[in-house]
Amino acid sequence: MTSSYALVLVGCGKMGGAMLDGWLAEGVSPQSVLVIDPFAKDLPAGVTVIPSADQMPAGASAQVVVLAVKPQMMADVLPLYRPLVSPDTVFLSIAAGKTIAFFRQGLGEQAIIVRAMPNTPAAIGRGMTVLCAGPGISESQKDHCATLLKATGTVAWLDDESLMDAVTAVSGSGPAYVFHMVEAMAQAGIAMGLPADLSMLLARQTVAGAGELLHQSDLPAGQLRQNVTSPGGTTAAALDILMSADGGLPDVMGKAIAAATRRGKELAG
């Protein structure tokens, strides 16, 4: 077993697995990847899998260690990876709420940390990931982390770590808001007499199509909305409700984003 890895992936659940698929599709050699997860199965040929950190080869090293376990497990996991700390190794975390200071406490002050917040569309290469780097990182290491995460979609850097909870609230949790909107649209269609399967098809395809139009268009979202809205028409009647000052979508979404941001700060503790 080799003891020098391009990537060590700690935790290979839905998000970790999506990232792994993206890396391999972009040409990362399976032989250069070590996955540490007691439940990992059916991984691509060539990827080395071990159930726990204590089974790593003596003297193992890595360019990037991706920490993809649940935030609640992170404090117990981190000390196991102190042997991998070096100036040549970046620890890349996707755990919501866990700060760079938290990781330096668990791994040691010399550890080089990048905090990242991806979202589930990474599974189809259409994710959104925001990164924030800790002290000591080189530009080449930042570039390497960005390149890795571009395999799963769009990447942006943030200098102010205090804003990462808001990032989590908007894009990290955001897909769930969209899926719930589809549920609500379908339920409303059923209430208006549509068959359930047709109503769900209409809601799913409308949101998927609108998302793709937004992706491909250079126009602002507000302009795309206006392009659909004829004065005095059906869309305008619906938007009068959704944009109402009393409990309309902006107010509800603002409260939702604020609640998610608060919860991210609570997880930091």
Give yes or no for a contact between 33 and 60, defined as CB atoms under 8 angstroms apart. no
**Tokens read off for 94:** 């996707």
Which one-letter DSSP state was computed for residue 68? -
- Per the listing, tokens 């943030």 go with 158
**Is 268 marked as binding a ligand?**
no
Q: Is 68 annotated as a binding residue?
A: yes
Length in residues, the chain: 269
Rg (CA), the chain: 21
Burial string for 8-42 (b: 16+ CB within 10 Å, else e) reads: bbbbbeebbbbbbbbbbeeebeeebbbbbbeebee
User: What type of residue sits at position 189?
Assistant: G
Residue 69 assigned as binding residue = yes
Kind and range of the H or E run holding 146: helix 139-150
Is 71 annotated in a binding site? The answer is: yes
Q: How far apart are CA 49 and CA 38, in angstroms?
A: 9
In angstroms, the CA 148 to CA 146 distance is: 5
Q: Binding site for NADP(+): residue ranges?
A: 68-71
Q: Binding site: residue ranges?
A: 68-71
